[in-house]
Structure 1
Amino acid sequence: MPDRMHDVVVAGGGPAGLAVALGCARAGLDVVVCEKRPGVLDKACGEGLMPVAVRALAALGVDPPGHLIEGITYRQGALVAHAPFRGGTGLGVRRTCLHDALGAAAGRAGIPVLAKQITDVQQHDDHVRAGGLRARYLVAADGLHSSIRDLVGLTSRARTSAPRWGLRRHFALTPWSSGVEVTWAARSEAYVTPVAPDTVGVAILSSVRGGFTDQLTAFPELEARLAGAHPVSRVKGAGPLRQRTTGRVAGRVLLAGDAAGYVDALTGEGLALSLTTAADLVRCLRAGRPADYERAWTRTSRRSRWLTESLLWARNRPVLGRRIVPAAVRAPWLFAAAVDQLAR
């Protein structure tokens, strides 16, 4: 029925959008999801879920299959720094498996997922119209390069630092570590995440454009380890990663997930932040106080943004960038404290 008033329309059926929808349904709100791409969605992603993300999924009744991860290791040449998670275990999960688990939970909750893209937004005093639907609120969870963020004027045109991009591929290989391994090169990092007993995901973040094979040459030891392994997925790319916004709320439109603003994938916190701030968003909508979401998002994301901004600032300065892993080796307590902040 075209004039039916929903409580919430969510634009975007990725993890952030589905997490918002599940939270809304659990809060007794009438919610519908609009996603233009059919089936299970995939994207470039490090795929390591911090313990806080695992807990956020459990609160939504979602338990995706994956491989337990117990900490983070930094490598640079012969230098190695390791920090275990202190407050529980994380989970390495293929993005497709995560989306499938969230989609199944949405199906069990009776949440409609419509195959449509929202390209128009009209706001009124007590509702918003978007994609032929009418709702009290519209949540834009349409990704890093959100078109709805542009439509409602929340994209910042401020100058950003040197752009960075991400690439990811999976290999049929028995994981050699129980944690996420991050190897640092001059201008890039390689993240190896165990996602199954026989599969690892390899993500490369870099300020240099290039294909996956070319990027891998910056990591000779990893390249040698992967030489005989069979790739089991296509290369996926994302970027530029940095996305600035002027806010998270424009009237009855709220931004969620990567659409709400993104610093970098350097600390691997993107999914955790999307899930925890989705819970904030739902609480604000349930209370009928959408404007409160800006403050809640800022509070919940502050620690993550500060750590990521600080690490990225050092990374973008060659002299400091070369000293990140040596510093973690010399001060293991500091490295452990940083990992603990990210994990909880």
Structure 2
Amino acid sequence: MPSSLQPSADADVIVVGAGPGGSAAAYHMASHGLDVLLLEKTEFPREKVCGDGLTPKAVRQLLRMGVDTSPEAGWMHNKGLRVVAGDIKLTLDWPTLDSYPAYGLTRTRLDFDDLLAQRAVVGGARLRTGVNVTAPVFDRAGRVCGVTAQVGPDKEPTTFRAPLVVAADGVSGRMALALGINKRDDRPLGVAVRRYYFSGEKHDDDYLESWLQLRSANDPDTLLPGYGWIFGLGDGRVNVGLGVLNSSSAFGKTNYRQLLVDWLSSTPEEWGMRDETNADGPIRGAGLPMGFNRVPHYSRGLMLVGDSGGMVNPFNGEGIAYAMESGEVAAQFAVDALARTAGPAREAVLRRYPVELSQRFGGYYRLGGVFVKLIGNPTIMKLCTEQGMRSHTLMRFVLKLLANLTDPRGGDAMDRVINGLSKVAPAV
């Protein structure tokens, strides 16, 4: 495919941010012949706050990028989800589907993002690290035609130009804000904190563990706000964390780091998560922008992918799968658009990108918004956990719903119900 480069351009596409969404977009665009410049402000490897757990939805996107997900390549495989609510424990395998692999993964973001960025390079993208993008550049018509940046340790001012820019700059959304694309307050929002611990008991657990009821050893009769997780990393460590949604009365009024410590005080001593000496690093926190909380996802030459467009799943807080999938979708439209002459024909293609995202995720995210409001009510949440978890069939349905794991065509009765609900729900 011929390049669409103009004499003054540095690339066909500039991708801002080499997280999962940006690297996926760069990989798929470059693999289809576009000249892609992938700009990352940090140097790899680097930390990111995340649960480090990947569902089969994310695994599918890794496989589409040609990533080797074998244990020999450093991945910890898991079979499904173990749900814990007080004395009740329910173990659920990932569903067997035509559309997804039947396993999940864990891997720390420390080298996960580096691995994906290198896959983008293998696909043909040009990666530059240490480039802090500060703002978009506009042409006379007010369309984005590049970015300004500070490059290297000396923060040298530099301008990069391209006919299309992809914003994968995360929760801050600096690029989107420059176009007046602000966060919506009517969408779900979460805050998560996590810490690594050395745990001989739990590090090689082949199920992701989700805790629906959190208690402190100092006050075991009182439920703490939020929902926790314990994900084994297979290297002697676990990723332990919790999230609180803005539907909770405790949102914004709680010391989340202390909340994590209080919860871990009630875990079995042999797990090693009560003892500070077993901790590997500090407690870190981050926001979770859910349910398309920043729209539109395309405007005036700028495409949003991943967290920059608020694409975290409201049901389970999963962001990586949606970041990578939106990156692939953005690539499909970018390739089609840049094959056309600049002007109305190209713009018509790019404007279909947010329509496609809405069709894929909009109705499902709307259901997720309702779910967030319901579980914010302690009475409803108590009823769901104490009664719902006694039915294995119901919880299998809930797992499919929360993880968004259904076959789009055919499938079983559960798939058809979930798909039907997502279609009839008004898109966000």
TM-score normalised according to structure 1 size: 0.90
In structure 2, give the amino acid aligned to 1:320.
I
Instruction: Give the aligned partner of residue 210 of structure 1.
Output: 255
Which residue of structure 1 aligns with residue 232 of structure 2?
194
Query: What SS class does the counterpart of residue 120 from structure 1 fall into?
Result: strand
Matched ranges for 1:76-91 at <5 A: 76-87=85-96, 88-91=102-105
- Please state how far the C-alpha of 1:328 moved relative to its aligned partner: 3.4
- 1:267 aligns with 316
**Residue 181 (str. 1) matches residue 209 (str. 2):** yes
Deviations 1:266-314 (CA, angstroms, capped at 9, x unpaired): 5142111111121111111111121111011112223652453233122
Alignment gaps of 5+ in structure 2 = 1-5, 97-101, 149-158, 215-222, 245-250, 338-348, 406-428
Which residue identity is paired with 1:177?
Answer: D
Secondary structure of the 1:200 match is strand
Cα distance between partner residues in 2 of 1:197 and 1:5: 42
User: In the aligned structure 2, how far is the partner of 1:25 from the partner of 1:160?
Assistant: 33
C-alpha spacing 1:322/1:241, structure 2 compared with 1 (3 Å): farther
Q: Whose radius of gyration is greater, 1 or 2?
A: 2
The alpha carbon displacement at 1:112 in A equals 2.0
Shift of 1:219: 5.0
Deviation at 1:26, TM superposition (A): 1.0
**SS class of match (1:6):** coil
Residues 235-274 of structure 1 aligned to structure 2 (within 5 Å): 235-239=283-287, 241-242=289-290, 244-262=293-311, 267-274=316-323
Provide the C-alpha distance between the structure 2 equivalents of 1:177 and 1:36, rounded to a whole number of angstroms.
35
My pick for the range that moved more, 102-111 or 19-28, is 102-111
| Deviation per residue, 1:148-184 (Å, 9 max, x gap) | 11111221354566x6411111112233632111112
The residue number in structure 2 matching 1:153 is 180
The one-letter amino acid paired with 1:190 is G
| Residue identity in the other structure for 1:325 | T
Cα 1:223–1:45 shift into 2, 3 Å: farther
Q: What amino acid sits opposite 1:72 in the alignment? A: L
* Superimposed CA distance per residue, residues 206-262 of structure 1 (whole angstroms, 9 cap, x where no aligned partner): 235325344231354436431257222332210264572231111210100111114
Residue pairs, 1:108-187, within 5 angstroms: 108-114=122-128, 115-124=130-139, 128-131=145-148, 132-159=159-186, 164-174=190-200, 175=202, 177-184=205-212, 185=214, 186=223, 187=225
Deviation at 1:137, TM superposition (A): 0.8
Amino acid at match of 1:122: V
2:137 alignment partner AA: Q
Over 3 Å counting, the alpha-carbon distance change for 1:128 and 1:219 in structure 2 is same
Aligned residues: 343
Q: State the shift of 1:104 in Å.
A: 2.4
1:263–1:322 CA distance, 2 compared to 1 (3 A): farther
Q: Equivalent residue for 2:412?
A: none
CA distance in 2, matches of 1:213, 1:329: 28
For 1:43, what is the secondary structure of its paired residue? coil
Instruction: Tell me the TM-score normalised to structure 2 length.
Output: 0.73
The Cα offsets for residues 112-167 of structure 1, whole Å up to 9 and x where unpaired, read as 22232222223446861212111121100000121111111221354566x64111
* Cα displacement string for residues 88-132 of structure 1 (whole angstroms, at most 9, x for unaligned residues): 101011111211211222333342222322222234468612121
- 2:375 is matched with 315
How much identity, in percent, do the aligned residues show?
21
Offset of residue 332 of structure 1 = 2.3
Q: Do the aligned partners of residues 2 and 121 (structure 1) sit closer, same or farther apart at CA in structure 2, a change above 3 Å counting? A: farther
Find the aligned partners of 1:157 and 1:170 in 2 and give their Cα distance. Answer: 32
Write the letter of the residue equivalent to 1:296. E
In 1, are the aligned partners of 2:46 and 2:111 still within 8 Å (CA)?
no
Name the residue aligned to 1:103: 117
Tell me, in whole angstroms, the C-alpha distance in 1 between the residues paired with 2:314 and 2:242. 10
